[in-house]
Amino acid sequence: MVPVDNSVEGRGLVLVVEDEHAIADLERLYLARAGFGVHVERDGAVALARVRQLRPVAIVLDVGLPGLDGVEVCRRLREEDDWTPVIFVTARDDEVDRVLGLELGADDYLTKPFSPRELVARVRSVLRRAAGPQAPRVLTVGLVRVDAGRRTVEADGRPVQLTALEFDLLAHLMTQPGRVFSREQLLSAVWGQADYSGGRTVDVHVAQLRAKLGDASPIRTIRGVGYSVSVEGSGGVGP
């Protein structure tokens, strides 16, 4: 597992799909240095499964993968209405290939050899475009109110002091009340990690959140699956 920067910029995991080890290692190194979590796959079919499981913020996708190539991976994602930003990487410098990739729904295109710093810049750029201009949001579930712009939390009218990770975890859960997030999805979205053994980390942070929110806590445990928030979940149960 690549160490990740826990700064605000470091939120989110990038899935790198590249069968050339040296290139994959270079991409992993520079993206991790830039504060992204990174997970590497070398097979297109496996990468599709990882996208569904990890919900990365962006995908760096080699076009010339053996078996299921990058073009087909992108095509299947878009057919499933998955619009995770995709940056194609290819050894071919052909305008037809580039246009085809963009028409399939790729967000950007890099031709080998390329500067790893340029790759990081392209990833940041597609994420800014995908986010668009967003005003600070206030999220409310039951008695819990999260001000995403001010990064403040109130529970039943009282201010609650949270760590940066606790705040990000609570805000992520509250963006989609009722949706059940697996531990792996939360690790990917909040910690920027794809370490499946880290589920206990999520459980510990959920327990800390519940303790701080008290009876107002909207966090529910879905046995064998993960966590969700809803009014019915106020008070919750232990992880």
Neighbours of 200 (CB within 10 A): 10
Domain residue limits at 182: 138-233
Count of the separate structural domains present in the chain: 2
Predicted pLDDT of residue 7: 34
The enclosing domain of 83 has a CATH number of 3.40.50.2300
Domain boundary among 131, 161, 192: 131
- What global pTM score does this model have? 0.66
The mean-pLDDT minimum among 29-43, 53-67, 100-114 falls in 100-114
Specify the 3-state DSSP secondary structure of 184. Answer: helix
DSSP letter at 112? S
Take residue 226 and report the two structure tokens written for it.
Answer: 């993960």
Share of residues in the chain with pLDDT > 90 (%)? 50
85 and 34 housed in the same domain: yes
Of the pLDDT bands very low, low, confident and very high (cuts 50, 70, 90), residue 2 is very low
104 and 88 housed in the same domain: yes
Of the pLDDT bands very low, low, confident and very high (cuts 50, 70, 90), residue 10 is very low
Predicted pLDDT of residue 231: 75
40 and 63 housed in the same domain: yes
Mean pLDDT of 67-91: 90
Asked whether the predicted pLDDT for residue 22 surpasses 60, the reply is: yes
Beta strands of 162-218 (E only): which ranges? 181-182
15 and 42 housed in the same domain: yes
Average pLDDT over all residues of the chain:
83
Domain boundary among 131, 156, 171: 131
**Residue 142 phi, psi dihedral angles, 5° rounding:** 60, -125
- Summarised one tens digit per residue, pLDDT across range 193-231 is 655 555 678 888 899 999 999 999 999 999 888 999 987
Mean pLDDT of 135-143: 84
Mean pLDDT of 27-42: 94
- Summarised one tens digit per residue, pLDDT across range 159-183 is 999 888 889 899 999 998 999 999 8
Take residue 205 and report the two structure tokens written for it.
Answer: 């942070």
Take residue 153 and report the two structure tokens written for it.
Answer: 């939390």
The mean-pLDDT minimum among 59-73, 103-117, 126-140 falls in 126-140
98 and 65 housed in the same domain: yes
The mean-pLDDT minimum among 10-14, 87-91, 206-210 falls in 10-14
Predicted pLDDT of residue 99: 63
43 and 86 housed in the same domain: yes
239 domain residue, yes or no: no
Domain boundary among 79, 99, 131: 131
109 and 165 housed in the same domain: no
18 and 116 housed in the same domain: yes
Q: Report d(CA 174, CA 182) in Å as an integer.
A: 14
86 and 157 housed in the same domain: no
Q: Report d(CA 35, CA 8) in Å as an integer.
A: 9
Give the containing element (helix H, strand E) for 78. helix 70-79
Q: Are the beta carbons of 101 and 71 closer than 8 angstroms? A: yes
154 domain residue, yes or no: yes
